Amino acid sequence: MEFYHGQETLTVIQWVLRAITAFLFLLFAAKMMGQRSIAQLRLLDFIVAISIGNIIAHPLSDEKIGIKGTLVTMSAFVVLYIFGVMLSMKWQRFRNWVEPSPYPVIKNGQVIDKNLIKARISIDFLLSELRKGQIDGIEKVSLALWEPGGAISFFLSPQHQTVTPADLSLPTKPFSFQKTVIKEGKVDVNELNNLDKDEIWLKNKIKSTYNVEVKDILLATVDNTENVKIFLYQ
């Protein structure tokens, strides 16, 4: 366990052990902090991500710095992060401070320049986000909100929204979500169990419809009507 402590020199194996220890710890820390810290960087997420990255970098590049203290410090940051998230869920004032309510940057086709300054974004950034949303004109936007996570939510004016079957009073089919039952030539038994089916049913269905083997299938899905759709290796 010498690689935990600071030394004048480290062997190659000790460097590798430090890297493995840090990697496993970061995986554990990310799991503890939850998917939110990966999916979006809000104030708490940003602080922890920057701090942990800076802390872990030093013992992985300087043999004189032990990794034990680093792991303890990072553990403290993870605990503080989880505490901060829980506090923001329970205490309204703290939540409003770390995750403020969204505010408009476009309203009724007009840019609110004072809120652009508040969000610290330029008109060029706003136009770029419009293009990403495939919106070709500010005048088509009824409302655009600057979100706490740094994204912009756009809501088109009713006259520019896509017509739906409900608008035309057209009949629609029930929603059908396709479940993946084969992936890369392997059957997902758990998914089949959720569908109250087994491998025999799936193989018979594939054989009667496509006449191929499971090992030749890259992806296979089943919809609510028990129709199987397959994609073969090319």
In a structure prediction context, what are the per-residue pLDDT tens digits for the chain, which is 234 residues long? 555 555 556 677 776 776 777 777 776 776 665 544 444 566 667 677 777 777 777 776 666 777 777 777 778 878 888 888 888 888 888 787 777 788 899 999 999 999 998 888 899 989 999 999 999 899 999 999 988 777 899 999 988 888 888 888 889 888 878 899 999 989 998 998 888 888 899 988 898 888 888 888 999 999 888 888 999 988
Per the CB < 8 A criterion, the answer to whether 57 and 50 are in contact is: no
In CATH, what is the architecture of 179-232? 2-Layer Sandwich (3.30)
The residues, any chain, with a CB within 8 Å of residue 35's CB and separated by 6 or more, are none
Handedness of CA 91, 96, 99, 104 (dihedral sign): positive
The reported pLDDT for the residue numbered 95 is 80
Assigned fold of 103-160: CRO Repressor (3.30.240)
The reported pLDDT for the residue numbered 30 is 66
User: Position of tokens 């083997």?
Assistant: 213
Supply 210's token pair. Answer: 């496509």
